[in-house]
Homo-oligomer: A and B are copies of this chain.
Amino acid sequence: MAEDALTRTRNLFIRRWGEMGATWGISRTMAEIHALLFLTGEPFCTDDIMEQLQVSRGNASMNLRHLVNWGLIRRTHLRGDRKEYFISDLDAWQMFETITRERRRREVEPIIETIDRCRKDLATEMDGLDADKQTEAKRYDEKLEDMIEFIHAVNALLDTVLSSGGGKIRKLTGALMRFAAGVRQTGS
């Protein structure tokens, strides 16, 4: 039947997107709403979403708000209509950028702070420890330093990729691959 191919595609995509979101820290409904808006590119109002996804008003409202806070969708209005509509007009790369920045701020920054604090803590108390403990403390510190370095390296890499924008990603990857090949040949 004519309409089914579209609807089926939409629903399948929405369901999977929702599941995927769930394995990340994003609630299923939130991911599904996003999928719906992203895929259609059209403005939807709260009632549309309630009907399409069969969720309650409260649920729809909450998750729409979260999505707006994340910067993944935005409010909009249709002329001649009092209702608020929501729309997703970011492309995949912009979405990635938004999510990355948000998660970094919410999750990575705190762990960096924690590690720094742990290391300071260790350093200040180092003197008071006997030899065995000092060795152990040193081992901890090395691990923590490694971790910090790793995080910084990934951050730097991400910044570079993000700031270069989606349009250039293929060029970047190409360059990177060539470079990596070079590094591998000449050794570290």
Contact = CB atoms under 8 A, between A and B. Distances in A.
Contacts of A179: 171-172, 175-176, 179
Nearest to A13: B118
A163 B39 CA distance: 33
Interface string A121-145: 1101110111001001101100110
A146 interface: yes
22 contacts: A2-B130, A3-B133, A5-B121, A5-B128, A6-B133, A8-B121, A13-B118, A20-B107, A23-B106, A24-B25, A39-B143, A39-B144, A93-B150, A96-B150, A96-B154, A157-B169, A157-B172, A163-B180, A163-B184, A165-B188, A175-B176, A179-B179
Interface string A11-28: 011001100100111000
A5 B157 contact: no
Most central of A93, A128, A153, A167 by chain B CB within 10 Å:
A153
Copy number in the complex reads: 2
Contacts of A124: 5
A22 to B, nearest CB: 8
Given A114-B13, A167-B188, A188-B168, A140 B6 contact: yes
